[in-house]
Structure 1
């Protein structure tokens, strides 16, 4: 007689079909469940999209509107228009788009919701009764359209979150609703004026981007001619100019404004000339006004004072001293200004650009000439891999860095490269190598990382510099880093090449996983069993069976590789070099076995042989110092579980961490 399963509001449940006649609509606000401005729907071209349908404008913001459908992994050649989320956390759509929840494979309660902030998120129910985000569509909070309304700028800070502010010369329309944006505080330029050009000025702000609404686009244009084009239109709100490409965009509306560090975007807001002078000394857009009304804690200071004795001589002396000090300060300011201007001009002459701003979190964009100078023309090579070569560098700040120069085969479009670099730059964990920045000049693609004094785990294993205590700490630290990538990031990040060469050690032998997420930086042309990878990734000896047998790729491929690394640390034997089997096991004929098979055979026990004896047979006796049998045993047990041929029998990396730390806690107690 009645049912609602075919008509979801803002939530899609597992196995609930999403069709051409279905729409997910966000709620209006916290505590207000009326229909909001954001919706998920199938467009007329059969593509699943996120739409902002606001009071003034309507625009698609996901997939990125500047990408063609096939550039974002979609296909218009379908007519079924159907999508669903299964009980394991796999979302599949008829347009070819798929995603896996970060906890994919677990049978737990999940839901896909169109949130009121415009982001589409997948939630998983934790044991404590809380919903945890296991996937989200839009990485950048300010990439969502309509968040701050017209004539406003969205800015995101990891500490304080997302915030909105009006552009210069504008004020909020509605103090309680940012979606209505801001209104001008000055008279429109379209009103009659004797000379609009003389009454108009431009205020420059770098690193601001406003999407769409161009009244004109001009290539090979100078900034001066770009401004003149704007003055010819009474409804021009400003110009967006790219110096490197000499591109001019005439903005007749300031929509979807956002603040981006290290971009090519420069916005010149058009304002009355009298208003420009008020803003010229301000470096940032002023935030929303605070409520500074009186409160019981406020104390008003008395504004009366007592007049002292008149002493003209003393006043003259104080004035002379103050004048001398002011003159010295002015001279110092001029010298500093001259030095900064000279340095800036030198950088412009070398690079042809205005340089890049350092991000508040230390993540920045470098120019190619900067990194070429820092690496002494890429002269000191410290590592080499399939994706590129690593060089030691000394940055202008004096910091020692490692610069990875990606091979030509890994190059891709700048927009896709910057989007994925932004995602990797946000990853932060004590057991992950820290990325300080990147370079994307023309065809040059370089990554800048912190420098690790002790080199790779592979180097330290070969020179026998790691005792058993350090090896156990390396095992725990690397496991924690991988667990963070797999389970604590909103993006599903696989390493795909876990091996000793990609585990680096600092001066205290503290491990940090490197090259994580770099598979996302390589070209992707097709899928491997819905994994999003177009080719086999990894290193021989460390690769999981899924790569060889063309099975679905999940986080368990990293678990397998990690298990092989553990076996290599325990035995001191390379997984790719082969291991000589006992003659008794081969009829007197020695043969090469894989490291995994060899350890399995050695550890096979019917209960007659003490575990210490079995450990004694496989352990690396070249390592200095006595080893703890219990610690080595837990490493071997964890490793053999990780290298199970059946991926469903392998533990997650968080379970491996728990297993290793549980042994440490027992030993301490």
Structure 2
């Protein structure tokens, strides 16, 4: 008996702990003419089984909503699991507010005793009661059992077991993890009787589940059932009248379950784990959280790695609107001009922005897509996706940037339109933040729905068909190459495999008469003059038959295939046959700058124009090109001159293609360039940026002005053991400094190449030297960009 008495006492103490309010308020029913007041938080309705409670819940400072919640003793009031709320978008005052059951049978919620915030609009001639059932359903019913109103018919963001989602109801997410007001995501039945998830934002809306590009049958959904009913049962099965079915990972008898559309737009089934006293996720609809539309707001990118939290980042040049809420997205920190000459593009790889296209333009080249966007004032970016199996690319100009998603699986590229004047400055402006995910539970596992089996079959089937298409395309392409019928569209293709004419080794051997006329030589190979079958004169570079030569070949083909500028060499084709690797370029009548520097063919005017043209070509590579390219070997041998002595930068074999957004992590497998033109960063093992090309350009300009090579002996003893490539620079600097100290006016005359025989414009020569010395500054941050170099030279040209 003593043992039984102790057990009863323990039971009573446990009940007192679970329900810490007086026995007078332990009720599940309230009658007509009674009220629950906000000033007495202990006044609540409790279900007979003690699982649920209904009452006023604090949602902020002096703000309350009437709600139903799970009655877990381990959870404090501020951490309650709310399953229903009547006035989530219109909280009431903390004084004199109350929920009243009038004698007329109407249930009303009043704010501060004055304003009616909500009511059931019910009327009854007989007595009525408000009861909280064991299922969590708050029911207003007459004494004879007739239901006049019930909360299950007006869900907020949660479905409880046996609660129906119908054609007349929907689930709406909360605004945030700590804000209960209505958010932007909805679970509902559409007009085709399909269960869908919708992002319904203040400025736009879009369906995102099931995947919007899937047809109804592809998603294993049926439109032929008009009942429009979805329900979660107590065992963990969630099913809908459109044939959708999902089963919880812990299928079976579980103490408590709920299905909630969370503030992040995903729907999840939660199970209560009694031992841990916490909720765990036993099923969720969307496994890749970044595919949820607008999850990071406009002008932003969502990224996710399994096992870590989702992250949001503003696009380069954009700033976060509200640092406490990503749904506001980002706003531009610049003014974009409609003048297409004032805009440039920044490439972002593996990034997709779904939807909100100006249009769909199939079989477009990258150049055509770029031009199209520049012609549209409201085009702020474009998506460019090349389909290998189809052999062409699609263009999607964007007028609104929502649903940005970074995924390594996505092979397309995204090109962001930015002001051209300071395009490079935006490359370091990506700001990343963590996006809080629901902390209510941990994902246990995910059970595949019945649709996955069919989807897997469809995937394998699509892969088989796609593989067959690729084989067919490859065979047709080979046939076209053999017959010499390459299409005109190939000239601007995106990939090397379809972008240039592929020559046979025999064709190029014949064109060069057995590689007999050598016109240039470099570390990567020898250049020969040749005449192609269409009578065009070409420069044909035969790469060394080594692994390094093949690597340089692939670098040139992939990089030059992406660029087009009047001061960059144009490539016409290539050969990849056995060990043979050859590149076919346009022929430049006057050879290289190196060949002409030490002749009498270059007067001061041509030298100035060559410097400006070279700067334009490099600026295009660094700042205007849709790829961010480092040349890494700027020298006179790689600056070619056409019939009018206009320069074209050539030989991209040592180039390093970099991701614009990853400058700080730039890395090179080996030192690149030519001794005498290399920036100190190469030797000092510092990060390599576009400033290495700026340094080399400065050396080339000094060489053009002085007629002396960078490693030639000048009249300065290198007593400090400085590297050779600084001899020319030091000599020029000392002459300029000595002239400034002694007020000399003829210091430049002592340095200018005597081949110009005194026929030059002093102002422009001084400008070249001044700009060149800035370019060869040992501190790379003190060097100008190539666009700044062009600006300085143009200013000097206008002055003189």
Which residue matches 2:569?
433
Which residue matches 1:646?
779
Among candidates 578, 600, 622, match of residue 755 of structure 2: 622
Which residue matches 1:156?
364
Unpaired segments ≥5 residues, structure 1:
10-24, 39-50, 61-75, 90-100, 102-107, 113-120, 164-204, 213-248, 268-346
- Any residues of structure 2 matched to 1:95-244 within 5 Å, and which? 109=318, 125=334, 133-137=345-349, 154-158=362-366, 160-161=368-369
Among candidates 508, 525, 531, match of residue 394 of structure 1: 531
Distance in 2, matches of 1:258 and 1:422, equals 24
- Any residues of structure 2 matched to 1:31-430 within 5 Å, and which? 32-34=204-206, 56=218, 109=318, 125=334, 133-137=345-349, 154-158=362-366, 160-161=368-369, 264-266=474-476, 353=482, 355=484, 357-360=486-489, 362=491, 364-369=500-505, 370-407=507-544, 408-411=546-549, 417=554, 421-430=557-566
What is the TM-score of this pair, normalised by structure 1? 0.52
Distance in 2, matches of 1:411 and 1:81, equals 43
Q: Is the 8 A contact 2:481 2:502 kept in 1?
A: no
Which residue matches 2:83?
none
Distance in 1, matches of 2:331 and 2:699, equals 33
1:563 aligns with 2:698: yes
Structure number with larger C-alpha Rg = 2
1:544 aligns with 2:679: yes
Provide the secondary structure at the position in 1 that maps to 2:526: strand
Distance in 2, matches of 1:371 and 1:572, equals 37
Cα 1:209–1:596 change in 2 (3 A) is closer
Among candidates 459, 478, 486, match of residue 622 of structure 2: 486
Distance in 2, matches of 1:546 and 1:382, equals 32
1:506 aligns with 2:642: yes
Which residue matches 1:515?
651
Q: Is the 8 A contact 1:564 1:639 kept in 2?
A: yes
Cα 1:156–1:604 change in 2 (3 A) is same
Provide the secondary structure at the position in 2 that maps to 1:594: helix
Distance in 2, matches of 1:610 and 1:395, equals 59
Distance in 2, matches of 1:577 and 1:5, equals 69
Q: Is the 8 A contact 1:455 1:506 kept in 2?
A: yes
Distance in 1, matches of 2:622 and 2:348, equals 15
Unpaired segments ≥5 residues, structure 2:
1-59, 61-173, 184-196, 220-285, 289-303, 322-329, 372-388, 395-408, 410-459, 492-498
Distance in 2, matches of 1:28 and 1:403, equals 59
Q: Is the 8 A contact 1:365 1:438 kept in 2?
A: yes
Query: CA-to-partner distance for each residue in 1:32-56, whole Å, 9 max, x for gaps?
Result: 5536699xxxxxxxxxxxx997555
Q: Is the 8 A contact 1:136 1:491 kept in 2?
A: no
Distance in 1, matches of 2:343 and 2:793, equals 28
Cα 1:111–1:573 change in 2 (3 A) is farther
Q: Is the 8 A contact 1:612 1:629 kept in 2?
A: no
Query: CA-to-partner distance for each residue in 1:504-537, whole Å, 9 max, x for gaps?
Result: 0011111111123642499xxxx99722421110
Cα 1:380–1:649 change in 2 (3 A) is same
Q: Relative CO higher for 1 or 2, CA cutoff 8 Å, sep ≥ 6?
A: 1
Distance in 2, matches of 1:460 and 1:26, equals 67
Q: Is the 8 A contact 2:593 2:637 kept in 1?
A: yes
Distance in 1, matches of 2:642 and 2:464, equals 51
Distance in 2, matches of 1:628 and 1:662, equals 15
Q: CA deviation at 1:617?
A: 2.0
Cα 1:361–1:252 change in 2 (3 A) is closer
Aligned residues: 424
Cα 1:593–1:555 change in 2 (3 A) is closer
Provide the secondary structure at the position in 2 that maps to 1:136: strand
Distance in 1, matches of 2:212 and 2:676, equals 49
Distance in 2, matches of 1:457 and 1:558, equals 17
Provide the secondary structure at the position in 1 that maps to 2:735: helix
Cα 1:662–1:611 change in 2 (3 A) is farther
Distance in 2, matches of 1:492 and 1:656, equals 18
Q: Is the 8 A contact 2:629 2:657 kept in 1?
A: no
Cα 1:620–1:397 change in 2 (3 A) is same
Q: Is the 8 A contact 2:675 2:725 kept in 1?
A: no
Distance in 2, matches of 1:508 and 1:494, equals 27
What is the TM-score of this pair, normalised by structure 2? 0.44
Q: Is the 8 A contact 1:615 1:633 kept in 2?
A: yes
Q: Is the 8 A contact 1:483 1:654 kept in 2?
A: yes
Provide the secondary structure at the position in 1 that maps to 2:788: helix
Which residue matches 1:13?
none
Q: Is the 8 A contact 1:544 1:560 kept in 2?
A: yes
Query: CA-to-partner distance for each residue in 1:400-455, whole Å, 9 max, x for gaps?
Result: 011122222335589x939x725422311111111112222344322211100111
Cα 1:512–1:153 change in 2 (3 A) is closer
Which residue matches 1:280?
none
Distance in 1, matches of 2:787 and 2:350, equals 26
Distance in 1, matches of 2:467 and 2:365, equals 17
Cα 1:208–1:542 change in 2 (3 A) is closer
Query: CA-to-partner distance for each residue in 1:599-622, whole Å, 9 max, x for gaps?
Result: 111111574544631111211122
Among candidates 625, 632, 654, match of residue 496 of structure 1: 632
Distance in 1, matches of 2:209 and 2:513, equals 53
1:579 aligns with 2:789: no
Q: Is the 8 A contact 1:59 1:145 kept in 2?
A: no
Q: CA deviation at 1:469?
A: 0.9
Distance in 2, matches of 1:404 and 1:111, equals 50
Q: CA deviation at 1:360?
A: 2.8
